Chains A and B, each alone.
Chain A
Amino acid sequence: MSRRVCLAGGAATPFDYPMHLEPESMIANCIVETQHDIPDFHLRNLQFMVYSHFSVHFGKQLAPEWIVHDHLGLVGVPHFRIENGGNTGGSALYAAFLAVKSGMFDVIGVAGWETMDNVSQSQGSEFIALASDTRYEALAGGIYPIYYAAMAHKFMKENGLTEEDFALAAVKNRNNAVDNEKSQWYRGEYQQYKRDLTIDDVMKSRLMSYPLKRYDCCLMSRGGAFCLITSEEWAKKHADGRYVVIDGAGLSSCTIRAGDRLNFPGWTEMYGEGYPDMTEFAACRKSGEDAYDMAGIEYDKALKSIDVAEIHDAFSSSEVQIYKALHWCNKDNIREFVREKRTFMGGDLPVNPGGGLMGYGHPVGATGIMSAVECYYQLTDLTPKKHRSSKTYVKNANTGLVNSHAGTGTSISNFIFRRP
């Protein structure tokens, strides 16, 4: 049996747009906060650094991880940067997971950030669209909300869903974020509302791309996050009671252009003709199944086996699509699953109690790490200390799922965390 890998501490900065903190200071802050939770953790423990940063466009700085790394004093310590679209954070975690699993390292720092507030929102949208095929979709005026909307439109029709069904996820995650003072929603727009967001608010918000409105979409952010990926031996000795075991890890891929996956041989031979079409996230299903297999979770019992999840709600619609890809519901019961609010606090599988991308924010390179850290807080009972109250604390959670998602579903990772 190969050795087990743990997440043994971590923290995120507030996420905001704009925010006034340079990347090296963001990561420094996160490390200091991690040391408050894990007093045994010292900079000298770090044997390898995996950096997680998506777009060098935002900072007009190539290899920005070099700035962060030497600022932390870590010269000589091996480092590299992972860039994998919106799944950059999840992919960095995956790389660190592999490195500990291999036996090469015992303590790895994973540090990510994005500085999207360096440009205007519409310019930022266009920058991100450079991660679609610029020879085709991006030139045609496409940006990610538009691609996702085209996929969501067909998904909505084929699964008997409505705009209001999607809006439930938008409302849930933003209202969860109110309990998290680091979240962009709480720091920003919530200060005007001072009340729970409603379905009506979502329905009345401005059209982004039908069926998605402004509140169906995640936020553009500046922010950073850090976590420690360690061997179980190190975690037991230095982070007793403050670590989780990564019992499952999956990473999968799909086409860059959503229109290329209607008949892709790699998928049709695995899952049958007509899958994933432009409606399903096949890479989410595959990486989820791989993580479930590793963790010994049967697909049809996944919903019962998982107690809390932090997933990549770049759009309200994609959160719902992810429910299906992860086998929590199927075409026959997806409507009831959504309408019965099974993923709200108090439901059988609370999703995004940390606020998710729609509530907490989405500084791409930091996002997947933030999701992992939020899930870790739940499973180590740190949530009541980290959030404003215990309202978003899932008591006695034993198993958590973390999901990170890129492109039009082009790269997706899933992790299963468990209490030791």
Chain B
Amino acid sequence: MSATVAALLCPAALLCPAALLAIAALTVVANRGLGADRARWLVYGGAMLVCIAAFGVALVALISSARADGQAADMVLPLGLPGIGARFALDGLSAVFLAVVGLGGAAASLYGLGYGRHEHEPFRVLPFYPAFLAGMMLVPLAADAFTFLVSWEFMSLASWALVLAHHRVPENRRAATVYIVMAAGGTFALLFAFALLAGPAGGFAFAAMRAVPPDAVTAGVVLALALVGAGSKAGLVPLHVWLPLAHPAAPSHVSALMSGVMTKIAVYGFLRLVFDLAGPPAWWWGVPVLVAGGVTAAVGVLTALMQTDIKRLLACSTIENIGLIFAGLGLALAFAANGMAAAAALALTAALFHVVNHALFKSALFFGAGAVLTATGTRELDRLGGLIHRMPVTALAVLVACVAISALPPLNGFASEWLLFQAILLSPELPQWGLKLAVPAVGALLALSVALAAACFVRFYGIAFLGRPRSDEAATAREVDRFSLSAMLGLAGLCVLAGVLPGLVIDLLAPAAAGLVGAAMPPQGGLAWLSIVPIAESRSSYNGLLVLVFIAVSALGTAVVVHRLAGSAVRRAPAWDCGFPNADPATQYTASSFAQPIRRVFAGAIFMVRESVEMPPPGDLSPARFRLDLSDPIWERGYLGLAGLVGRMADFANRLQTLTIRQYLSLVFLSLVALLVVLAVWR
């Protein structure tokens, strides 16, 4: 019985992207004849059902393969290259990421049902949305390099079209250009990686690559190419520059998918290439991945702290979370290379758990940002404030997501970060000096990033939702529709659930870890009181459920006792504020003033910050002005420098186009001689 189920899973999973593509095609064909309203229902309603089905298939795959450990056979479909066909497979790793896509896609579609109503040009979004989802589902299902790369590019191009949905805004056009250039570069790197793995014989099915592991040097090059290719999609520093531009440009539910889900597909690409196809890891592989993860986490969160646009802030915080995930992957590589399978499984599970968690809370946060945008028409933090009164349900859902992303117990962000710290504490056993020095340094960077993330989300929530409204739009904001609210509340509920029952999630992730590093974390489901014990009980354990119960009981109990014994009288009065009555809302802290201490302490290290105060001369009654110039050297020096270099080289090459016939002939002669010399030396 279970064998037939397993055999049916991969076709069932493939039906989901097929259905999504059919929806996309139908939207294109019917186009305006359908009417915006019905098209919205078709696209978002259909996509939601398909995504729920995909999530269900992935869940069944994870549960069934947890029991019967069998390698799924490839399914060959007569698609793509004639005569060769396309291969698909659903193993533990694919199933985890298919589940993430399904969950994120279902929530985004539910949200889109309400949010899509505010779209001015709905047909710039509707056909591409299911196509984008289909691309993200096909990548984890692909089982050969060609199918993988085609799906990957399909996903990139569909999301590029969605970034351009509001193409009349010049910034969005610029964002889309930067995005397509970075995406093309990343795919280029992946193409080389797969070509190296396929070898001269051209065995480009994943099974063939697995059968013939590459030699050490090739594998090292594949690691570097995977870091560039998948890292540029995921947002590893210094390849992250497109992310804060492109993610906010898309409509909010698409932003949620790009930040919460598409970056995870990039993580999948890295896992597939490095953990699965590139053969047994060498010890040093962990070092670049760890360092990239630690640096990405710190730079990402500091960049997020400097932003005043809510969607950009969230996109930057995605960079931070990608850093945490990659740090976990680096640890897993280091452990796996040294034969410490249990520790590798712990680090890998921590990273995968964070993948799931980040998809949950980042989607919820982007939905919240979209709701704020709908209600107020602005994304500027400094024009918001006091939304907790005007939008109570959104405020509650966003608060839960903020607590979760700040890694505070008892929510899910803390559970995965706790596992990550437990993995770090196992690393003194690693024999190599390079790792012994890198791991504690990266651990400190991660601890710093987590603390900065909490500061970042105090700032985000405190400025946008608390305090007094800083503009008329914020003062007259109205709560958003029920679809959006239920999507946000659903994700917030899942954040709580994954936080108090982390053992269930860990058990579901076990097949993925077992497939990649040959071991899984010990099963957590049967432990007393639903606590999690990664290694041994004497070493460490955590119980989110009990922590939640303890906090709830002591908070409610204290509140009841205090109110009963000491009275519950409340008097409303003007704010005290040390005796300044009715100060203007402009006297509140703003987003940039809140970040000022942190900017002064940390940001000088990675940004070029220039603060200047213009004081009027004595007697002049004009106001003093404060100017803040903040620029990112990675963009200014690195990318713009590179673009300038390309321009100068083009200028130089341009001169070759206006030569005389004599000079051309001599050029031809010289290149002929050069080629002959090369040939002579080569022989």
**Chains A and B form a bound pair:** no
Listed in ascending order, the chain A residues whose CB lies under 8 Å from chain B are none
